[in-house]
Amino acid sequence: MAKEVELDCMGEACPIPLIKTEKALEELEVGDTLIVLVDHSCAMKNVPEWARKQGHEVELEEVDDGEWEVYIEKMK
Partner 1 sequence: MKTFFDKIKQNDFYKLWFKDALPYVTGAVLLSVFQIVTFTTTGNPWGVSGVFANWGAWLFELVGGSVDKWFYFSSPGAQATLNAGFLNDPGTWRNLGIVAGALFAAMMASGFKIKKIKSIRQVIAAALGGILMGYGARIAFGCNIGALFSGIASLSLSGWVFAAFMFVGAIIGSKLLVKYFM
Residues with a catalytic annotation lie at 14
Say whether 1 sits in a helix, a strand or coil.
coil
Residues engaged in binding partner 1 (CB under 8 A): 10-12, 15-16, 19-20, 23, 39-41, 45, 62, 64-67
Q: Give whichever of 41 and 55 is closer to partner 1, judged by the CB atom.
A: 41
Count CB neighbours of 23 within 10 A. Answer: 10
Helices 16-27, 41-53: axis angle to 10 degrees equals 40
Q: Give whichever of 16 and 35 is closer to partner 1, judged by the CB atom.
A: 16
